[in-house]
Every structure is written in C-alpha cells, then in structure tokens.
Amino acid sequence: MHMCIVSIVQVVVIVFAITGIGFAIGKFNKFGSSDDIWKEDK
C-alpha cells in the first residue's frame, strides 16, 4: 500500500516537473528567440 502511494507521488512530481519546464520554455520563446538575445549581447 505504501509503495503504491510513493509510486503515484513520484509520477505526479515527474509530470509536474515536465509541465513546468515545458511552460518555462514556451514563455521564454514568446519573449524572443535565443538568437535575438545573442544579437543584443553583441
């Protein structure tokens, strides 16, 4: 029983992490591509 709960929690955490990373990448792409940032630095 405890092992099943731990497995479910691990899956939820992994899915939440992947969703958070995907959302961060999508938000970053809206502000501008990495090429634009490199041009600004130069």
What share of the chain in percent tops pLDDT 70? 69
Q: What are the helix (H) ranges across the chain?
A: 2-31, 34-41
Instruction: Give the pLDDT confidence score for residue 10 in this predicted structure.
Output: 95
Q: What ranges do the domains of the chain cover?
A: 1-35
Higher pLDDT, 10 or 2: 10
Instruction: Give the pLDDT confidence score for residue 36 in this predicted structure.
Output: 58
pTM, two decimals, is 0.50
Per-residue pLDDT of 5-21, as tens digits, reads: 999 999 999 999 999 99
